[in-house]
Amino acid sequence: MKIFTIFFILIFLSGNEFLFAQDELNNQFQKAEKLFKEEKYFDAITEFKRVIFFDSENKYDYESYYKIALSYRAGNKLSEAIRYFSLAEQSAQTRDEILNAKFEIVKLNILRRTTSSALNLLDKIESEFPEKQNDVINWRGWAFIFKDDWESAANEFNKIDSLKWIADFCKNIENSKYSVRFAKIISYFLPGAGQFYSGNYLSGFLSLGWTGLWTYLTVNSFVEKRIFDSVMIGNFLWLRFYNGNIQNAEKFAIAENQKISNNALEYLQNNFKGKKP
């Protein structure tokens, strides 16, 4: 009888070992979390990998993969982050976890500006999880912002009342942008006009001056019946500066638009309080 008691105690003790293992796993996970919070991302990844490796019941898989992905993301290693978010998605237990990982992948695709895959993923999420439509719309809007398509973004955000502010913001940005086509067309008619339109007055004056000078010289030679000179000046000088003027009109308009977009993105990154990638 007493022997049985002792065996029982021994079995109980060995059972304790199992309990300890769970505690240890938790300890290890906390340790990794601590490194993550201290922004020691490289080491945090090692410790999370250790958790996954020793976690025979796959209890911490989702959280660890998720945290590894977040660490890679914090180190601006986006494709690896995506890889680990997909691993997290595969080891997810609940619907929420799956959704979470999926949205993280979408966010990274938005940041990487691989917009088409972000939009594809969002379409899939929309059909599988109809209840999350608001989030899908929000991220679709952000995907368009990063694609520099502010009008589509505004249309997307407009579908939800709570996103009114950012919809208006996008609309404003779209309206404040220069039309590249318009800049080019007015430069065809009046050299330098496109540059004036986008606010590059110096370059506009130079273009106007040069083309004016060469036009005068070409016409003058023609009038004075020096046809050879006229053709040469017209072909090699006038045409060159005229072409350059149109190229510049386009180049400056694009550059100004880029500046506007970048300012807007910077503002959103620093000041926007809502959900953002």
Partner 1 sequence: MKNYFVYAIIFSVIFFGKSFPQNSFHTQSNILIFADHLFCEKDFLRAIDEYLRIENKGDSTKLKLAFSYQKINNFDASSFQFLELKNTSVADIASLNFYKSSYLAENFVSLINNFENENFISEKYFSFISKLYLTARIKANHNIDKNFDFGAFEKSEQETVSVLVKRQLNPKYKSETMAGVLSTLIPGLGKIYTQNYGDGITSLIVTGLLTYLSVNNFDHNHQFKGWIFAGLSSYFYLGNIYGSVASAQIFNANYNRVTQEEIDKFIYENNYFLPKEADWNCK
Partner 2 sequence: MKIYFFSILFCLIHFNVFPQTEFEKWEGKKISYVLNENSTSSELNFDAENIPELFLKSLTNLYWFFISDVDGDNCPFSPTCSAFLIGSIEETNVIKGALMFADRFTRDINFFDKANAYPFVTRGKFFDPPQNYTLNRESIKVFESGKFLFLE
Residues that bind partner 1 (CB under 8 A): 2-3, 6, 9-10, 13-14, 16-17, 20-21, 24, 27-28, 31, 45-46, 49-50, 53-54
Residue 65 interacts with, from partner 1, partner 2, none (CB under 5-8 Å by kind): none
| Residue 8 CB contacts under 8 Å (≥ 6 apart), including other chains | none
83 binds partner 2 per the rule CB under 8 A? yes
| Helix, strand, or coil (residue 99) | helix
Burial class (CB in 10 A: 0-12, 13-18, 19+), 153: buried
Task: Give the DSSP H or E segment for 164.
Answer: helix 164-176
Q: Which does residue 252 touch among partner 1, partner 2, none (CB within 5 to 8 A, set by kind)?
A: partner 2
Q: Least CB distance from residue 26 to partner 1, whole Å?
A: 10
- With CB cut-offs between 5 and 8 Å by kind, which of partner 1, partner 2, none does residue 31 bind? partner 1
Under rule CB under 8 A, residue 210 binds partner 2:
yes
User: Which tokens in the block code for residue 44?
Assistant: 């945090």
Burial of 12 (0-12, 13-18, 19+ CB in 10 A): exposed
Q: Which of 118, 121, 122, 119 has its CA nearest to residue 133? A: 122
Question: Which positions lie near partner 2, rule CB under 8 A?
Answer: 39, 41-42, 73-78, 80, 83, 90, 111, 146, 200, 203, 206-207, 210, 240-241, 243-248, 251-252, 255, 258-259, 261-262, 265-266, 268-269
